Amino acid sequence: MPRKKKVSDDEMFERIVEAEESSKTVAGTSAKENDDFSVVADELADADKEKAEILNEISSESKIEYVEDEAFETKNDALFEKMVNSKKALVSKNEQKLKEIIAAMENQDEAFRKRRYEVASRSMRRKLYENEHIISYAGEQAQTYADKKHAEAQYLLQLAQSVPPVPITGKIIGIENFNNKYAAKVNIIDERELGIFDVLIPVAYLFPYNVSDYEGYVDPEVGRTRMRDRLQSMVGAVIRFVIYDVKEERMVALGSRVKAMELTSNYYYRRATGNNRVFPGVLANAKVVSTRRDRVICDVLGADVEIKSNELSWTALDTVDNEFSVGDVFPVRIETVKPFVYKVGENSMHLYSVTASRRAALPDPKEEFFDSYNEGGIYSGIVKTGSVEQGFFVTLNGRIDCVCKPGNILKKIVKGCECTVAITKKDPEKKRLNGIIIDVTK
């Protein structure tokens, strides 16, 4: 329904005055002329009726305006309240999300918050860091052994208390017994002169492993020997780890390589956007951390990857520990990536099981070099493996293998010796070379 035109206050006042003046005029005229009383009465009644109508109109206008204003204010109040409630809900949601993030961090690093730093007593600290007075030029002061010890303790304390943990680099220099098990002894690689505190990494925090692989034997020494051999193969490896506990009085710090693996692997193998940096098919750097006769274990961006000899090279190899050394770095092609959870006590770490191949990251030498060797040609090579009965695999110029029989030579043929080979046959279909060892040069 269309709304009536609003009457201003001045207009309302003027109309009331006009009505009253009209009433007075009619009354004056009636008295002066003294005509028919009934006519005068009717006119007065009409004037009063008009006045009443004006007053009603004013009242109605005011009521309409009041109702509309009240409705507008009510609507505004409702919108305002809705905005306030939405803002409160958003703040509450953000606060809840923040609490969940903090709780997740606390749960994830729970083992790294408990008893991180066992402070020595005051008397012991005085004994640990007691200094003799050094006479020197003004403004010059050499750092004493006690100063270095105290500085190293503070440095380790900061590492132990950092959230999230900060990975550092160190070199495994030995294996020791620790709480009836083994631990790796590590030297921190840093521009500062460190090494006063013993830094140990318990075996459970050194690399992820299945307990059944090393325990449960009828003779427990069998499992201990297997574990010791595995650890011994890691001596000399440069690794990344975090400090999670410092025992000041004993001058010992405990570290975790597995925690550093979690931090690194989650950066490369898992991203919230789904655009992972490392996935099957890509090339990645692999650093050898352990060698055995038939395989190596490499750190591939935070994942321990075991690569057997047949995936290490296209050509024949001697025993793997003779071909590769701890610290070697080479590219590998990622084949599979699978997440898993590794538990140590109450602490769970999210890691990745990765398979990779060095061979797949290299060109096939048969495709690259087969045509470079001719039947009747004589070439130098190194004996990799084989026997007199089965023949020897000789790698020619570090490129391609040739299956060779020994010629009429007096020198003994052994693995690793340098020799001279004469090519006797080329098989273009299988791209295979056969030859004879005609001399052993070294």
Write the pLDDT tens digit of every residue in 8-42.
545 555 555 555 555 445 444 444 444 444 444 55
Mean pLDDT along residues 393-402: 92
Domain 366-440 matching CATH 3.40.50.300: the answer reads no
pLDDT confidence band for 89 (50 / 70 / 90): low
Fold (CATH) for 118-130+142-259? OB fold (Dihydrolipoamide Acetyltransferase, E2P) (2.40.50)
**How wide is the angle at C-alpha 24 spanned by C-alphas 23 and 25, nearest 5°?**
95
Least confident of 127-141, 210-224, 396-410: 127-141
- The pLDDT of residue 26 is 43
Q: How far apart are CA 306 and CA 300, in angstroms?
A: 10
Evaluate if residue 418 carries a pLDDT over 70.
yes
Split at pLDDT 50, 70, 90, the class of 350 is very high
pLDDT digits (tens, 9 = 90+) for 232-254: 999 999 999 999 999 888 889 99
What pLDDT, on the 0 to 100 scale, is given for residue 30? 42
Mean pLDDT of 340-360: 93
Whether cis (ω within 30° of 0) applies to the bond prior to 339 is: no
Is 401 in contact with 386 (CB distance < 8 Å)?
no
**Confidence band, pLDDT 50/70/90 cuts, at residue 150:** confident
Q: What is the mean pLDDT of residues 312-329?
A: 92
**Per-residue model confidence (pLDDT) at position 33:** 43
Per the prediction, the chain carries an average pLDDT of: 80
Lookup: tokens for 438: 């005609």
| pLDDT at residue 200 tops 60 | yes
Q: Give the whole-angstrom CA distance, residue 171 versus residue 190.
A: 11
Structure tokens at 103: 């709780």
Question: Confidence class of residue 360 from pLDDT cuts 50, 70 and 90?
Answer: very high
pLDDT at 59: 53
Mean pLDDT across 67-79 = 55
Confidence label for 62 from pLDDT (cuts 50, 70 and 90): very low
CATH architecture of 263-361: Beta Barrel (2.40)
Is residue 114 predicted with pLDDT exceeding 70?
A: no
Distance CA 246, CA 249 (A): 9
Instruction: Count other Cβ atoms within 10 Å, centred on residue 122.
Output: 8
Query: How far is the C-alpha of 312 from the C-alpha of 361, rounded, in Å?
Result: 9
Do the two domains 118-130+142-259 and 263-361 of this chain adopt the same fold? yes
Residue 64 has pLDDT above 50, yes or no: no
Query: Pick the residue with more confidence: 122 or 23?
Result: 122
Query: Is residue 286 predicted with pLDDT exceeding 70?
Result: yes
CA nearest to 358, candidates 399, 416, 431, 298: 298
Q: What is the pLDDT of residue 230?
A: 92
Q: Which carries the bigger pLDDT value, residue 198 or residue 125? A: 198
pLDDT for the residue numbered 132? 61
Q: Does the pLDDT at position 329 exceed 90?
A: yes
Indicate the pLDDT class of residue 398, thresholds 50, 70 and 90: confident
66-70, 223-227, 324-328, 419-423: lowest mean pLDDT where? 66-70
List the domain boundaries for the chain.
9-89, 118-130+142-259, 263-361, 366-440
343 vs 436: CA distance, rounded Å = 56
- How much is the average pLDDT of 198-218? 88
Give the percent of the chain with pLDDT over 70: 69
Output b/e per residue, 47-74; b: 16+ Cβ within 10 A. beeebeebeeebeebeeeeeeeeeeeee
Q: According to the model, what pLDDT value does residue 377 have?
A: 95
Confidence of residue 216 (pLDDT cuts 50, 70, 90): confident
Higher local confidence (pLDDT), 379 or 70: 379
203 CB contacts (<8 Å, ≥6 apart)? Answer: 178, 181, 182, 183, 184, 209, 227, 231
